[in-house]
Chain A
Amino acid sequence: MASPQWPKADKRLHIGKPYDRLDGPIKSTGQAKYAYDVNVPGMLYAKVFPSRYALADVNSIDTSAAEAMDGVKAVWIDEGVLGKEVRYVGQIIAAVAAETEELAAEAIALVKVDYTPKEALIIDTDPSLGSGRPSEREEGTPAEAFEAADVVHEGYYGIPVITHCCFEAHGQVCDVNEAGAQFWPSTQNVSKYANGMGESLGVPESEIKVDCQVMGGGFGSKFGHDKWGVVGGLLSKKAGRPVKLMLERDLELMVGGNRPSAYGTVKVGADKDGNVTAIDAKLFGTGGNGGYRPPPVPYVFTKIPNQLSSGQRIQTNRGGQRAWRAPGHPQGCFITMAAMEDTAAKLGMDALDFFKQNLALTNRPELYAQELDIAADMIGYKEKAHLRGDSGDGPVKRGLGISIHQWGGAGHPSECDVSIHADGSVECRIGTQDLGVGTRTCVTMVLAETMGLPMDAVKANIGNNAYPISGASGGSTTIGGVSSSTRLAATAALNKLLDVVAARMGEDALSLEASNGRIQVTGDDSKSVTWNEACAMLGTNSINERGVNEPGESTKMGLMDSGVGGCQMADVSVDIETGVVTINEMVAVQDCGLIIDMKTATTQVHGGLIMGVTYALFEECVYDNRTGRMLNADMEFYRLAGLKDIGTLKVHMMTGPGFDERGVIGLGEPPVISPGAAISNAVANAIGLRVPELPLTPDRVLNAIAKGGQS
């Protein structure tokens, strides 16, 4: 009999090996069909009319000229804003569907909206403009602790609003009629994409079919069907034709979601030996017109005995925030780690010594100690490290920076069906999605591993809401969820097969195993049949078994777990005459329990580092304070890192005893949390002063140098 527990290291056929993504070739050769690539017969193209004002009353919306245009097949108006307010530039007020994309754009240009503009709040850097009372928290006796501290550092830190900037914009192709609907969206949430859509579309939700085989990035911004999903559906229904509605880049950046800003002053108290005793963080920031939760400060060093913190929300007339890969963590991490490093510098201590000195204030001191040592070796810390600012005479200064981070990563609820057919074929069906990270590949590996078969002998069917429900891909919950449900279903199906084979072979099913394409008496291939012979015994039947991942149960069984820690170090060069920061090297050390596919796990960390370098050096939403327009809503001035900007990336995954037996833990968020902090700390180490805000653009670096630092 097969047990659902993960096999021990010496028994693993696929798990833990570095496998290429199964859909890599179709993606790299352009055969993969993203939502944007879906073209169905009779399809119309939709364009939306965005608000020109950040805050205005909408007095009237006149679409008559657009409607009268040849080729325009359906027009939609947001009755909800008529006579009411629009609250940010880019808010969708109307939409049209036409025979061609160009006609749709022309028709949109004919829409007339009469507004009464009002004074809007755009800037997010003035806490006095906050709405409501700040949240406040106190632990211990911070006032006394600061009084008693040998050293008190106080600094200002800031991290602006950035966006998800998905390469594939939000949107979908859909075909809606009275009887039902088909959606091809770009989504992180196939199983539940259609939830809440039925009423708006006048179609039973049970009749809404959703398919998303590949998608071009979500990062937390694509959980729902969104307004444009409903608008596309209504246009389709009205026109009686399929409709493609994808956001264009400017709207993608303005309304497709963003990461809240976080600014504020942080005070850290320590004794002369470098033990941190107190922290006080007064933070503020904006989630645009959406919600805002202050980032967690202190971050990771949560056991600092005396703490004070407050968070003030500034509600601005800008697009709303959405979960951005590890919500709150990159901000909390940057602010905490920068303040910690500044404290070390004030004490004249080496940053690595200082971090290690204070690991008892974290939840996993031993893990971080181990990871810091590995990272230090990888980056050559001993040879390269110097105290802050002690970096030679020339204009180019080099420095190292450190950061540590944490995440949960427990698997989400997930269901999976596995079928074994008499011809030997094996498949699973699971309503999950592959955001590009390798979910399809990992599900296939788990299925093949369980059956003792090669990868090409099994097939994973994902990305369709007709399959058993699996959770949304967010919060690093996917891999734990889908690997557990797939493992449970596959084990159950295999055991059904073992029962059949045992009866035929006259063996006890408990003594049988699947190994290397055979069903055999455990450890004895002289008593065996091939996989195909075994399946042929099913005759005209198939085996179909469902696996249900109930996270609590699976955690008890050791299939999955939660709680990871990671460490990153950055080696940077800063030209103090130009302000240009160059990444020489980034090192990431990360645990995530049992790793299914070593290659996709490693590349997930690479991706986190690249995204991290990007927000550390380049990304920010620049808004005009008067018009509320995002000035860089394009790929020209909303800069992303290119290959030459990211330096050398080195990744070490913590595996083996102590890690593997924990089961599978998610990895999507952790690697993107630390880069901003590590890079900012490295820049401070290089140039001898803190550049207080990210991104570390040449202007910010030169301004900080001109001011001589903040303290």
Chain B
Amino acid sequence: MQDFEYTAPTSLEGVIGLLSETWGETEIYAGGTDLVTCLKQGLTAPRRVVSLRNVKELKGITILDDSIEIGAATTLTTLLGNAELAKHATALIQAIEGINSKQMINVGTLGGDLCQRPRCWFYRNGYGLFGIEDGKSLIEDGDNRYHAIFGNDGPAKFVSASSTGPALIALGASLIVSGPEGERTIAAWDFFQTPQSESDRETALKSNEVLTKIIIPKNETQSATYEIRHRAGLDWPYVTASVAIGKEGTKVVLGHVAPTPWVSDAAGKALNGRVKKADAEKAGEVAAEGATPLSQNAYKVAMVKTAVKRAVLRATGQEEEA
């Protein structure tokens, strides 16, 4: 690990001023649960690390009439304790609960969860975002059991690691990012991108921008997240589904199945407000349609069906005993 300059400015302006226009020169340090790992794994070797710890304006929850604003550097534990979020953003709270590690959520932040790098084991072992060795994909012929079953026709085969992304998309959240040119608002859905080249990133964030705020509309929405996870403690899910059922329609968003959170418009339409068990099952079937599993992950298609069905039932208080 090469030496780097560590700074902890006290204002957002200060943070932005310290960020580089080139990826890799500077890194933002929020909770550090991913950054520290990336540093150790040699995935990044910045010359400067900019901590958000002293930037008060990036922390806290503000309840407005029609929305809830969350500072990007607010810890996940803080969100868990908020009654308004429990009411208006159940899917988000359940996604955080799914992380299942006090240590992680005590330091991990909402912004950090959205910006973390993929956990693809080829990437983490030094074979790049696309897992290439000698010009050939290690992922296609290799052990791809945890990889994408949707959106995997390009070079990116990893799955988005964000726990909260699918829930925020389902809830219709928008994100505010700030950079030298000022502020811009991005729909949660547009924030996630599938890289087409090794130099692309997994989010719309630029290297000199910082995610500042997450805004969740206060809709009359029933929402839930269902995770399929192996270990009871800290573990990555195999597949997740977040659903939000509101007046404007039903949103179904899958996690850990594609290089981004994966919106299933068809499943949302299939439900269209109907939430009987048979409807939930149908939505699961529809959500799984069009999957393009790799050599070792067809089982994830069955998991999508289950996760969507159970998320719908959970959102509407019909959870099966499991």
Contacts and interface: CB of A to CB of B under 8 A. Distances in A.
Interface of A: 102, 105-106, 394-396, 575, 577-580, 617-618, 622-627, 629, 631-634, 636-637, 639, 641-645, 697-699, 702-703, 706
B230 A629 contact: no
A623 B125 CA distance: 12
B303 A698 contact: yes
B100 to A, nearest CB: 9
Interface stretch (B72-80, B135-143, B181-189): B135-143
Contacts of B297: 699
B235 interface: yes
Given A396-B321, A577-B306, A644 B233 contact: yes
Nearest to B229: A580
Q: Which 7 A-B pairs have the closest CB atoms?
A: A644-B232, A642-B233, A577-B306, A702-B299, A631-B121, A699-B299, A578-B228
30 contacts: A106-B1, A394-B320, A395-B320, A396-B321, A396-B322, A575-B322, A579-B302, A579-B303, A580-B230, A618-B231, A624-B122, A624-B125, A625-B142, A626-B133, A626-B138, A631-B121, A636-B119, A639-B230, A642-B232, A644-B232, A645-B232, A697-B230, A698-B228, A698-B230, A698-B299, A699-B296, A699-B299, A699-B300, A702-B299, A702-B302
B299 A625 contact: no
Interface string B222-234: 0000001111111
B29 interface: no
Contact of B306 (A578, A636, A644): A578
Contacts of B136: 626
A645 B322 contact: no
A634 B123 CA distance: 14
A106 B142 contact: no
Contacts of A698: 228, 230, 238, 299, 303
B1 A105 contact: yes
Contact of A706 (B119, B141, B299): B299
Nearest to A632: B121
Interface string B118-134: 01011011010000010
B22 interface: no
B199 interface: no
B145 interface: yes
Given A396-B321, A618-B230, A644-B232, A625 B141 contact: yes
Contact of A394 (B2, B124, B306, B321): B321
B1 A641 contact: no
A702 B303 contact: yes
Given A394-B320, A631-B143, 10 more contacts: A102-B1, A578-B303, A578-B306, A578-B322, A580-B230, A624-B142, A624-B143, A625-B143, A631-B121, A639-B231
B211 to A, nearest CB: 24
Contacts of A627: 127, 133, 138
B175 to A, nearest CB: 27
Contact of B121 (A396, A578, A622): A622
A643 B233 CA distance: 8
Interface string B292-310: 0000111110110110010
B299 A579 contact: yes
Nearest to A623: B143
A485 B227 CA distance: 55
Contacts of A632: 121
Contacts of B303: 578-579, 698, 702
A578 B296 CA distance: 16
Contacts, number: 97
A202 to B, nearest CB: 35
A397 to B, nearest CB: 11
A577 B302 contact: yes
A106 B302 contact: no
A395 B296 CA distance: 24
Contacts of A579: 228, 299, 302-303
B253 to A, nearest CB: 19
Interface in B206-259: 228-236, 238
Interface in B88-144: 119, 121-122, 124-125, 127, 133, 136, 138, 141-143
Contacts of B233: 642-645
B44 to A, nearest CB: 15
Contacts of B238: 578, 698-699
Given A577-B302, A578-B303, A706-B302, A631 B231 contact: no
B122 to A, nearest CB: 7
Nearest to A581: B230
A649 to B, nearest CB: 15
A631 B133 CA distance: 14
Contacts of B299: 579, 698-699, 702-703, 706
A396 B322 CA distance: 6
Given A639-B235, A642-B233, A702-B302, A622 B143 contact: yes
A161 to B, nearest CB: 14
B318 to A, nearest CB: 14
A580 B306 CA distance: 12
Contacts of A702: 299, 302-303
Nearest to B302: A702
A637 B142 CA distance: 16
Contacts of B236: 636-637
A127 to B, nearest CB: 20
Contacts of A580: 228-230
Contacts of A617: 230
A583 to B, nearest CB: 10
A626 B141 contact: yes
A575 B230 CA distance: 11
Contacts of B228: 578-580, 698
B56 to A, nearest CB: 32
Contacts of A395: 320, 322
Contacts of B305: 577
B276 to A, nearest CB: 17
Given A624-B142, A637-B121, A699-B145, A106 B2 contact: yes
A624 B300 CA distance: 21
Given A624-B122, A631-B122, A641 B231 contact: yes
A645 B231 contact: yes
Contacts of B322: 395-396, 575, 578
A578 B228 CA distance: 7
Nearest to B125: A629
Contacts of B121: 622, 631-632, 637
A643 B122 CA distance: 29
A636 B37 CA distance: 11
A625 to B, nearest CB: 6
Contacts of A106: 1-2
Nearest to A699: B299
A643 B234 CA distance: 11
A626 B122 CA distance: 12
Contacts of B1: 102, 105-106
B49 to A, nearest CB: 15
B231 to A, nearest CB: 6
A274 to B, nearest CB: 35
A280 to B, nearest CB: 31
Contacts of A394: 320-321
Nearest to A644: B232
Contacts of B145: 699
A324 B231 CA distance: 24
A48 to B, nearest CB: 16
Contacts of B138: 624, 626-627
A624 B303 CA distance: 25
A224 B302 CA distance: 47
A52 to B, nearest CB: 9
Contacts of A629: 125
Residue among A632, A637, A699, A703 with max Cβ neighbours from chain B (10 Å): A699
A703 B297 CA distance: 9
Residue among A396, A578, A623 with max Cβ neighbours from chain B (10 Å): A578
Contacts of B127: 627
Contacts of B2: 106
